[in-house]
Structure 1
Amino acid sequence: MSVVAALLAARGLVVSGSDARPGPVLDALAARGVTVHVGHASSNLGTATTLVVSTAIRPDNPELLAARDRGLRVLHRSQALAALMQDRTAVAVAGAHGKTTTSAMIAVTLAGAGLDPSYAVGGTVQAVASPEDPAPAVGVLAGARDGHGPVFVAEADESDGSFLAYRPTIAVVTNVEPDHLDHYGTREAFEEAFVRFVDQVVPDGHLVACADDPGSRELAARTRARGRSVVTYGTGSEADLRLEGWQAHGSGSTATLVEAGLPPVALDLTVPGLHNARNAAAAYAAARLLGVDGPTAARALSTFTGTGRRFEDRGAVRGVRVVDDYAHHPTEVEALLRAARPVAGGGRVLVLFQPHLYSRTRTFAAEFAQALGLADVVVVTDVYGAREDPDPQVTGALITEPLRATGHDATFVPDRLEAARRIGAAAREGDLVLTVGAGDVTTLAPEVLAAVPG
């Protein structure tokens, strides 16, 4: 929501809004000319003629009720974002995993190529700026930028079906792995939503899809069979853009990008993991479709240093490094831990995991346990319910019990502060500690660092 507010203000609209509590995001919005309120009240509407809401806003929200009583136009966040994209060449990035990083990588690549893109990304976009490769500035609202170029890059959220509001020129699909079944109900309904998303692509547009993911690969095949333009990327020989020779090195990796009929291009990344190399390949493919040459795209990608809450350093003490990550699906957790192992070197990998949503925890408890089994020590705290009402039958113990049954060092600690202290106290010099999840676990790094034995 903060990204949309910042972009609307940058376009010259009078924008106001509210949040439940103060924080740096509200401060940053105020600095951009947005009128901000702490707490929700009908009086916050002022003279507004349109109310923009997210899926998280409940029907009894006083501002929403007042807007409906006054007959104001009420738009979902995705509808407002779609309006911002109308006069631009839109690149919409969807997928159960990787869309934030991939969107940010595309933005950095286009900026490095001099295209001055606009973008709306659900996390800060971080890159190393240089005179040759101007990159986005880092800041609290660095996921929002209103550029002067013709391209608008948007992270397209499939969680509530709102990505169907967009009409992109390029649709990027990183994977089609079932998630958000609380909204869709069935795997088939989730997969069909991606078919509909690709149907929204303009007639002369393109689908960029990951050939390594079965769901995305099937989507690409169905789209190509209907005569639409498709570019696939991945590590297999069937991919149109092949990622070859991937190797991890410390906190980064290298690989070679191969397109038929063109010289191979070296890719050198400062972010870890094969999953991030795949994300970079997706960004490279999108940039190529927008006219960026291969070497320029690869050079711009080398400046990308990450997004907020994606393997983000939170500090170190007494030889223990703490990194925060947004991973909240079993596949994401597995990819994170596989990427973390070479970063840790000879040290251990310790994880403080906060499950996100009762429905997701109930559905994927066994898969979470399997993924977390890649860590050396695991502490799981209680579920962050977000938009869901509590379910007393669903706790973090659903994840730790199968881990403990197989001999893993795994503990369920319901209180999140005590969980942070527990994982910190277990760390020793050379260890890498990860705080993982989409909830307020992101605030716990100071507690972890303070608990590391002296």
Structure 2
Amino acid sequence: MTADHSSNCPPNPQNVPASDQDLTGHAFHLIGVGGAGMSVVAQILAERGAVVTGSDANGGDAFEQLRQRGMDVRVGHRAANVPPAATVVVSTAIKDSNPELLLARERGQRVIHRSEALALAARGRDFVAVAGAHGKTTTSAMLAQALTTAGQDPSFAIGGVVSSLHTGAHLGTGRAFIAEADESDRSFLNYAPTIEIVTNIEPDHLDNYGTPEAFAAAFVAFSERLESGGLLIACADDPGSRHLARTAAAAGTRVTTYGTTARTDIPGGPVPGAAHVQVIITRRRAVGTEAELVRWEPDAVAPAVGLVPLEPTIPGDHVVLNAAAAWEAGLELGVEPLAMARALSGFGGSGRRFEDRGEAGGVRVIDDYAHHPTEIEALLTAAREVAEERGGRVIAVFQPHLFSRTRNFAERFGTALAAADYTIVSAIYPARETQADFPQVTGQTVVDHISGTARYLADPAVAARAAAEFARPGDLILTIGAGDVTRLGPVILDLLASLPDPERA
């Protein structure tokens, strides 16, 4: 069982100062410090002056970056790693049997959740929490880059590298602190944001929540965590997020929505439930989807801001929607509308979000973190636009994430992946789960629901070779998933470079 650490997570640990200026002289030990979420917390705590140590089972790129910054981080979980005076920081993935956690509890050390450590590091700033089943990283990264370009020097903690900023974490001098708010374990309820962005509320993490209704209820609770006078920014195109906006507004919360539904489609005023920030798609291209933004005040019959051009350099309608959310947050933080749109148009992407890994033999390799059916649908739509301009096909190498998610969404995964010309599904990345609890669930479970050409190849190395051998010049190969499938990009590129016949398929 995964530990529930909520009872061990006081909002202000005893050895943490009330001052919001720095954490100098205070120690934190992070278990699982190499993870995407934990590593950025480590960096921010260190930048606030804390002494940071940590451990990780496997290491990895983020782990090595922390080591290069001078932090004492170690591979392997051993009781001896834990400094006796440190506040111990954990995620929900850390099990009760972890030797470092066991020792910390024996000593009576404070144990807090990662989200509470992040809230502590953000103390004294205008906290912008970005939530949703998908789109969090891209939206957070867009906002961080745009505010940086606009001269606000925001702080941010993002579970992916912002390409133009070369990091996923930064302690800035400005008032804004941007962070992804993780709904998977309800830890986003540990925040008290000034601004909340909710990109969507599609059911996920049902292994934790049990029902879609419980999942949606958690977002209502999240909206109630807003500071007095704070702003909820919600996507009107998503039914769950739209319902949240109405519920929050009825409770007296200040709400702005964004989406593609026009406000003046019919005579007599705005369409009920339509977005305050209207996104008008004007052109879809492989190098980015262009749009115009129109902003309406509530109950207005004419726009307050009209036809602001938005031109992200990444394809996909979902990218433009994410940018619209970031645009509205930027306006709330004081950036002029046109300047914010221009800053967003320069967004260069973030790690593992339609990330270009290179090209060999005329075949381009893209890596993406998509692990929910809706994310995969959006990814393959964007990939299709790129492939068609190249005169090629889309080849998907998909690694399912979690046995429970694979079981719950197998049919939807199959429908989404059918948009590829050829799909290879590898073994499931178990994360916190075990195959023994789901003996009948494998990658074949997804393949059985794909109507197009698809194969189940459990071995990642075999999957990589099959994708490379099938590809021909002009094609796109996508490595997709939240696990270690990202490691296959360089492998596939090496295979493409070594295969003798470029017209092999």
Give me the TM-score of the superposition, normalised by structure 2.
0.86
CA displacement 1:58-99 (0-9 Å, x = unmatched): 111110000000000000000101111221001000000100
Say which of 328, 341, 344 aligns to 1:298.
Answer: 341
Map of 1:81-120 to 2, 5 A cutoff?
Answer: 81-120=118-157
Cα distance between partner residues in 2 of 1:31 and 1:86: 26
1:9–1:33 contact (8 Å) kept in structure 2: no
Please tell me whether residue 167 in structure 1 is matched to residue 192 in structure 2: yes
Give the structure 1 partner of residue 415 of structure 2: 370
Matching residue within 433, 437, 446 for 1:399: 446
What pairs with 1:176-191 in structure 2 (closer than 5 Å)? 176-191=201-216
Q: Find out whether 1:203 has 2:196 as its counterpart.
A: no
Superposed CA offset, 1:279-303 (max 9, x none): 0000001111111111110111122
Q: Deviations over 1:148-173 (max 9, x none)?
A: 11110010000110000000010100
Q: Give the AA of the match of 1:45.
A: V
Separation (CA, whole Å) in 1 of partners of 2:64 and 2:252 = 49
**Structure-1 residue corresponding to 2:324:** 281
SS state at 1:421 partner: helix
The corresponding residue for 2:294 is 258
Q: 1: distance between equivalents of 2:78 and 2:366?
A: 37
* Residue correspondence of structure 1 range 403-422 to structure 2 within 5 A: 403=450, 406=451, 408-422=452-466
Alignment pair present for 1:242 and 2:278:
yes
Count of aligned positions: 439
Bigger radius of gyration, 1 or 2? 2
For 1:63, the aligned partner's letter is E
Which range is displaced more, 444-453 or 72-81?
Answer: 444-453
Report the secondary structure of 1:263's partner residue.
Answer: strand
Distance (Å, rounded) in 2 between the aligned partners of 1:46 and 1:152 = 29
- CA RMSD of the aligned region, Å? 1.0
Following the alignment from structure 2 to structure 1, what is the Cα–Cα distance between the partners of residues 373 and 449? 15
User: How far off is 1:144 after superposition?
Assistant: 0.6
- Deviation for aligned residue 1:451: 3.1
- What is the rounded CA distance, in whole Å, between the counterparts of 1:286 and 1:26 in structure 2? 31
Instruction: Provide the C-alpha distance between the structure 1 equivalents of 2:61 and 2:458, rounded to a whole number of angstroms.
Output: 28
Paired position in structure 1 for 2:298: none
Q: Which has the higher contact order (CA 8 A, sep 6+)?
A: 1
SS at match of 1:347: coil
Within 5 A, what are the aligned runs for 1:24-173?
A: 24-127=61-164, 137-138=165-166, 142-173=167-198
| Partner amino acid, structure 1, of 2:311 | D
Residues 297-306 or 211-220, more deviating: 297-306
Structure 1 position 384 matched with structure 2 position 409? no
Name the aligned partner's letter for residue 479 of structure 2: T
Cα drift, residue 393 of structure 1: 0.7
1:382 CA drift (Å): 1.1
Deviation of residue 25 (structure 1)?
1.9
Q: Deviations over 1:99-149 (max 9, x none)?
A: 01001111111111111100010100123xxxxxxxxx31xxx11100011
Letter in 1 for 2:351: G
Aligned mates of 1:310, 1:294 — CA distance in 2 = 26
Do the aligned residues in 1 keep the contact of 2:428 with 2:442 (CA within 8 Å)? yes
Q: Name structure 2 gaps, 5 residues minimum.
A: 1-37, 263-273, 296-302, 501-505
Deviation (angstroms), 1:262? 2.1
Aligned residues of 2:293 and 2:306 also touching (Cα < 8 A): no
**3-state SS, counterpart of residue 164 of structure 1:** helix
Structure 1 residue 410: deviation in Å? 0.5
Query: What is the identity, as a one-letter code, of the residue corresponding to 1:27?
Result: E
Residue 255 of structure 2 aligns with which residue? 230
Moved over 6 A (4+): none
Is 1:14 aligned to residue 51 of structure 2? yes
1:313 aligns with 2:349: no
* Kept after mapping to 2: 8 A contact 1:352/1:423: yes
| Alpha-carbon contact 1:320-1:432 (below 8 Å) kept | yes
Q: Comparing 242-251 with 83-92, which one deviates more in the overlay?
A: 242-251
